[in-house]
Structure 1
Amino acid sequence: MKKLLTSRLRARVGSGLAALGVVLAMVVSPTPAHADAAGRGGDYVPIDSVTLLDTRNGTGGTTGVRGAKSVTTFNAVGIGGIPSSGVSALMVDVTAISPTANTFLSVYPDQTSRTTSELNAAVGETITNSSVVKPGANGKIAVYNLTGSLHIKVDVAGYYTTATGSVGSGFVPVNHTRVVDSRVGLGIATGTLPTSGTRTANLSGGGLVPSTAKAVMLDVVVTGSTGNGWVTVGSSATAKVGIDYVKATTSMGMAIKLSSDGSRNVQLEARGPAVHVAITVQGYWTSSPTTGAGLRPIPATRLYDSRLPTGAQAVPAGGSVDVAVGGTNGLPTRGIAAAVLNVHVVGPAAAGYLTVTPLDGTPNSASTADFPAGLNNTRSSLVVTKLGTEGKVRIKNVSGGTAHILVDLQGWFADPMPFLPVQSFSRSVARQGEPSDGSALGTIVYAHTDNTGQVRVVHQANPDDFGSVQHTPLFGAEAFTGQPALNVLGASKQMQISALHTTGTVWAGAQTVANAATWGTTGNYGGTMAAPPVAVTLANGSSVIFAVDADGRLWHYRQTGTGASWKSLGDVDLSGGLAALALDTGIQLVATTSTGTIKTAFYSTDGALTGWTDLGGNVTGVPAAFLIQGPRTAVVARAADGSLVMKKQELGGAWPTTWQTVGTFTAAGSPAAIVDPALGRIAVVARGPDNEVYRVYETEQGSGTWGEWLRLYENPSDPTAATAATDPTIAPIQNSGGPGFVVVYRNRNNTTIALDRRFAAPGGMAAAKVSPSAVSFTPHLIPTPPA
């Protein structure tokens, strides 16, 4: 499979000054991303800065210092140019004013649980940081103060829309590029900003920010200060944002509204000791909502904390950490234009700064989150950054000492991604649940995605009664594609279903209780996959979902503990044809590659993956993998010429060189296979060119020779009822007759046909042991829901 390649024009950075990561560069304006294709908004509307809360004068409804563990709420919509509805998030600047103890502030939607800190402040400091925060359902925002007492000020610089309309702008991220530095005369006159002085700075960066940009995302550094003060940055007297600074160096991420004259000039105004100012561009907002990426805000979530687990080591001088963003918290693994991160530095042993770079991208030398030395110091800075390979960023500690680093996710900007087409007549899946009381037989669940994209589940309460079933559509009006996956969760014994959404994300839901016909809350687990998921429960009871993306990279989602996320198992050019077998110590994975070979690898219980063994071949579709005595893995696949071929792992684990042909048969699709639990012989089923389903048995146990291919189901009264529209699947089941299996497929009417293996008289199983032709399959047309 040819890889999907994304070409992005990147601005190149030059050499830097060590103290602040100064960049002197010739830059090229990147091509804006396309507008959000989903119509879900996230367009940014910059406004003249408005104060929503100031406890010093009662703005926002609260007057006076706020004490330890206090929560201060204020209205955030319907005021100051912010509409009362249609607002998905606000870009706010939060200021902690003269706290009496080291503290942090958390900013979050009112009437929800607070999560992470947005701003850390030491005793006596006045310091600011930006934050992207959703208003609560009541239109309010809450601010929590940890310890001590202080005044709190919150300003808003703009808002994001809930739907794409005629207002707002999409976002275009750029490689972090220094465009202003008063120490070297970059974009501004050389020299410090004097007390109560102003100076004009140009943010264009040689074309990095186009003249049509409505707003720009900056990292602003104030350095060389001998005391406290503030600097405002703005395109007019009303469109400005302030950075409060303390002695030495302070930095802050901020969004600035630009002038409509296209100049990209801003005025810097200082109040306090003379200082130098350096400004880095992280991205800009375009001229309209039809270009650029839309914001997807999420509840602030911690992605990384070098202090955890307890006893963990701080990041060393010059050291770096790689932080996964894509695939976490329900995010996709592709199509993220940029992530909105809040980066904290805790207890640095020496002064310095951080750089934030897309993993495997062009290294950024421009600084962010500049910090002074001090084991009691903490600095926070909002950072908007592109993501690199597998949705990761690399954060480097550019200082002469150790420092702890914390990273919080506040949202992400969505690039459009093509929708996956709904696959017509995708394969069904079936699975029997585990008995919940130790005696009764588990119920059988059938599932498929129909030709409209609806995931449908059929519940068969009695394994012996195929006529009494209950149909349940899942996931509401969402559209899915391909074969779903079923697995039984650990101790709860609930059945879980996983399915591929047409956006490429993977959704999952589970029975309310084991063997129930009702299903509980479903969830979007994120990811951006090109092939349907495969789900397996490990011997320790934990569940793992596997899926393959458009690059042929395999991902796994371990549903254990908190913070479950998609993690890459490497790019091995898989085509999406994936099978998985649960073993006592892990999972045997078998997959088709883009070149038509079969590869296999072992995934251990702890999540480690062995190297891949290439079994060769020239195959198509999804291989059938099943266990034989040993336990060993056997694989049946459809060769490019339509024949079916098999390989069986040898005792000791080696694989034979050659593939064995499974009788004389031409298959029209992917096969299914099992070792018949009663006969001990391999049975293979496949759809033929006539769209009938056929089966074959080994002539003897382990013989490697095959009997006659026989039609699985003949219905002389209605031949169309037996005609298969999908490839068959096999599920082992246990009914009153003992262990067996059922073959499942659907016909052109989307009717599910289940055929359970029986031993027909005369002779029953005894006759079948002599001649597999004596095996019969009883067809059951699962009743469809009433029209």
Structure 2
Amino acid sequence: MGLRRVGAVVAVVAAALLAGVTNVSAAPEDRELVPMEGPQSALRTAADTQTPISTFIPMAPVRVLDTRNAGGAVGPNGTRTLDLQGHTPADAVAVVLNLTGTQPTANTFISVFPAGDARPTSSTLNLSPGQTRANAVTVALGLDRKLSLFNLAGNTHLVADLAGYYTQNTETGTLFNTDPPSRALDTREEGGPVGPNGVVNVDLSYLPEHATAVTFNLTGVDATTSTVVTAYPAGVARPLASSLNLSANEIVPNQVTVPIGEDRQVSLHNLFGNVHLVVDVSGYYSTITGSFFFAFTPLRWFDTRDSGNRPLNPNTIIAATGWDPEVTAVAANLTATNPSAPQFLTVWPGGGTQPNASNLNLVAGQTAANAVNVGVGLETDPEVNDYSINFTTNAGTVDVIFDVTGFFVN
């Protein structure tokens, strides 16, 4: 059948495991567009928080929390406060963190939100017993530039690495520019796996010369043993930080934001064994052009588990709508649960061509999350004719949850 626009929704595309490995099941014109509209007047609701517009100050990652060294594991229904006053200036309004959970004793999730706010319904990180997994998070700062980290069940250790902050001093920071996801590195196609204590550089010279930092989805594939991958600016010493944690034979993605280093490159270091690395660039920060950022407490845009909705499948595209025309892109957390088969999800701006990229990789029965910075495009189909973000999957069915933590605005 032709592509049928049922309404405003979200679109995620999943292939067997990773984009470029398995083709999607149906061509775009053969997939139904399922509607999923976000909260009305969300921009005005966010504005009521009086959070100012801001610009981004990127930094090489620095460790700001490790409960294995201080404070101990966070217990069931426990909250740990992360004080960032010593790492951010007084005019900071939001931060970009890489949050890692390790040694959990039960199935659990972690929520990160501004200190002093009520805990939102959103989650940031999903963990199984014994698992180590990371997820990037963009989150508004709370009282005294502090964050709250909530753990639902069991005990788990938390590690946080600061990748930058948003400042209300709009004269000093950088602006975000979104691009349709594009593949900048795939060691399966060229170069071969990265070995123990090996480094591969990502060439970003194709970005504008005024680009100072980059956001990309980093995926590890076919690791031969448990390992840690760290992304950092080329030409500087490798920091004590992690960007991606993998077990043997896993496919794991994580969004990374990092300054562009020497020779317009970013370095990726692998600690143990051999692993293939795939980089899909979704945007960059510039001192000259781009969008300001507006942070707020996480806001649930849609959840396919809600009454009246249905799981995503390979024959559908969800187009998430309800965005204000001023919104050029969003910072969000993408969570998938109840997958019936191995698959990957892809997210891209409405109205654009589905890219050869993946945002989230799943095996059957898994619940996992990944941060996304994605542009809001104008959907040109006459039955939608609205600003939207698309989602799709390539295999089986899966429930999708999309929690927005900020808008990039003109």
Question: What TM-score comes out, normalization by structure 2 length?
Answer: 0.82
Structure 2 SS opposite 1:214 = strand
Tell me which residue corresponds to 2:361. Answer: 370
Question: Hey, what's the Cα distance between the residues in 2 that align with 1:76 and 1:230?
Answer: 25
Determine the C-alpha separation between the residues in 1 that align with 2:347 and 2:215.
15
Rounded to whole Å, the distance in 2 between the matches of 1:254 and 1:43 is 18
2:250 paired with 1:231? no
Query: Of 397, 402, 407, which residue of structure 2 is paired with 1:407?
Result: 402
- The corresponding residue for 1:379 is 368
Secondary structure of the residue that 1:392 maps to in structure 2? strand
Report the residue type matching 2:83 in the other structure.
Answer: N
Q: Deviations over 1:537-595 (max 9, x none)?
A: xxxxxxxxxxxxxxxxxxxxxxxxxxxxxxxxxxxxxxxxxxxxxxxxxxxxxxxxxxx
Whether contact under 8 Å (2:58, 2:165) holds in the other structure is yes
Name the structure 2 match of 1:136: 142
Q: Which residue of 2 aligns with 1:71?
A: 79
Q: CA shift at 1:18, angstroms?
A: 7.1
8 A Cα contact 1:226 1:248, kept in partner: no
121, 132, 137: which is aligned to 2:127? 121
Within 5 Å, give how 1:522-537 maps onto structure 2: none
Q: Which runs of structure 2 are paired with 1:162-561 in the superposition (5 Å)?
A: 162-165=168-171, 167-185=172-190, 190-204=191-205, 207=206, 209-235=207-233, 236-238=236-238, 241-246=242-247, 247-259=249-261, 261=262, 263-286=263-286, 288=287, 290-309=288-307, 312-326=309-323, 333-371=324-362, 373-375=363-365, 377-389=366-378, 390-398=386-394, 400-415=395-410
Question: Residues 388, 160 of structure 1: CA spacing in aligned structure 2 closer, same or farther, 3 A cutoff?
Answer: same
AA matched with 2:404: L
Give the counterpart letter for 2:266 in structure 1: V
Tell me how far 1:319 sits from its aligned partner: 2.9
**How far apart are residue 291 of structure 1 and its match?**
2.5
**Pair 1:97–1:18, CA change in 2 (3 A):** closer
Aligned residue for 1:138, secondary structure, equals helix
**Which residues in structure 2 correspond to 1:84-103 (within 5 Å)?**
85-103=90-108
Residue 68 of structure 1 aligns to a residue whose secondary structure is: coil
C-alpha distance in structure 1 between counterparts of 2:185 and 2:60, whole Å: 23
- Please state how far the C-alpha of 1:276 moved relative to its aligned partner: 0.4
Measured after TM superposition, the shift of residue 318 of structure 1 is 4.5
For residues 675-719 of structure 1, the C-alpha deviation after alignment (integer angstroms, 9 at most, x for no partner) is xxxxxxxxxxxxxxxxxxxxxxxxxxxxxxxxxxxxxxxxxxxxx
CA distance in 1, matches of 2:375, 2:66: 34
Instruction: Please give the residue correspondences for 1:630-779 in structure 2 after superposition, counting only pairs within 5 Å.
Output: none
Shift of 1:304: 1.1
Change (3 A) 1:270 1:178: same
Deviation at 1:250, TM superposition (A): 0.1
Report the Cα distance in structure 1 between the residues aligned to 2:15 and 2:183, rounded to whole angstroms. 11
Higher RCO structure (Cα 8 Å, ≥6 apart): 2
Query: What SS class does the counterpart of residue 49 from structure 1 fall into?
Result: strand
1:226 CA drift (Å): 4.2
Please list the CA deviations of residues 396-453 of structure 1 after superposition, one character each: whole Å capped at 9, or x if unmatched: 012x2111111111111111xxxxxxxxxxxxxxxxxxxxxxxxxxxxxxxxxxxxxx
Structure 2 vs 1, CA of residues 18 and 210 (structure 1 numbering), >3 Å: closer, same or farther?
A: farther
The match for 1:52 among 64, 88, 94 is 64
SS at match of 2:222: strand
Give me the CA root mean square deviation: 2.1
Unmatched runs of 5 consecutive residues or more in structure 2: 1-13, 22-51, 379-385
Whole-angstrom distance in 1 between the partners of 2:272 and 2:341? 25
Q: Is the 8 A contact 1:303 1:325 kept in 2?
A: no
Once the two structures are superposed, residues 148-168 of structure 1 have per-residue CA deviations (whole angstroms, 9 ceiling, x without a partner) of 111011111000011312x21
Q: Is the 8 A contact 2:216 2:282 kept in 1?
A: yes
Post-superposition offset of 1:300: 0.5
Match for 2:159 among 153, 156, 159?
153
- Are the counterparts in 1 of residues 177 and 283 from structure 2 also a CA contact under 8 Å? yes
Residue type matched to 1:53 in 2?
Answer: L
Q: If the length of structure 1 is used for normalisation, what is the TM-score?
A: 0.44
Is the Cα–Cα contact under 8 Å of residues 176 and 282 in structure 1 kept in the other structure?
yes
Q: Is the 8 A contact 2:225 2:274 kept in 1?
A: no
Retained in 1: the 8 A contact 2:97–2:138?
A: yes
Write the distance in 1 (CA, Å) between the matches of 2:97 and 2:144: 18
Structure with the greater alpha carbon radius of gyration: 1
Q: Deviations over 1:488-516 (max 9, x none)?
A: xxxxxxxxxxxxxxxxxxxxxxxxxxxxx
Offset at residue 238 of structure 1 (A): 4.8
Change (3 A) 1:241 1:264: farther
Deviation at 1:17, TM superposition (A): 9.2
Q: Is the 8 A contact 1:103 1:146 kept in 2?
A: yes
Residue-by-residue CA offset, 1:368-407 (whole Å, 9 max, x unaligned) = 1122x131x1111111111123221110012x21111111
Give the whole-Å Cα distance in 1 for the aligned partners of 2:148 and 2:307: 29
| Partner amino acid, structure 2, of 1:409 | V
Verify the 8 A CA contact 1:73 1:140 in the aligned structure 2. Answer: yes
Q: Return the offset for 1:313.
A: 3.2
Instruction: Please give the alpha-carbon distance, in whole angstroms, between the structure 2 residues aligned to 1:293 and 1:193.
Output: 35
Task: Give me the whole-angstrom Cα distance separating, in 1, the residues matched to 2:82 and 2:19.
Answer: 38
Checking the alignment, whether the CA contact within 8 Å between 1:178 and 1:281 is kept in structure 2 is: yes
Paired residues of 2:65 and 2:158 also in contact (CA < 8 A): yes
Paired letter, 2:390: R
Give distance in 2, aligned partners of 1:142 and 1:273: 35
Contact 2:15 2:343 in 1 (8 A): no
Quick one: distance in 2 between partners of 1:266 and 1:356? 23
Contact 1:234 1:241 in 2 (8 A): no
CA contact (8 A) 1:91 1:133 kept: yes
Give the paired residue count.
Answer: 356
Q: Distance in 1 between matches of 2:315 and 2:218?
A: 22
Q: Does the Cα contact within 8 Å between 1:47 and 1:157 map onto a contact in 2?
A: yes
Q: Distance in 2 between matches of 1:230 and 1:347?
A: 27
CA–CA separation in structure 1 for the residues paired with 2:315 and 2:159 = 35
CA contact (8 A) 1:315 1:402 kept: yes
- The letter of the residue matching 2:354 is P
CA apart distance, 1:180: 0.6
Shift of the alpha carbon at 1:41? 4.2
| Displacement of 1:255 | 0.4
Helix, strand or coil: the match of 1:96? Answer: strand
Q: CA deviation at 1:47?
A: 1.6
What CA distance in whole angstroms lies between the structure 2 residues aligned with 1:238 and 1:160? 24
Task: Determine the C-alpha separation between the residues in 2 that align with 1:148 and 1:191.
Answer: 39
1:241 CA displacement: 4.9
The CA deviation at 1:19 is 4.7
CA 1:45 to 1:238, structure 2 compared with 1: closer, same or farther past 3 Å?
farther
Give how far 1:237 is off. 2.3
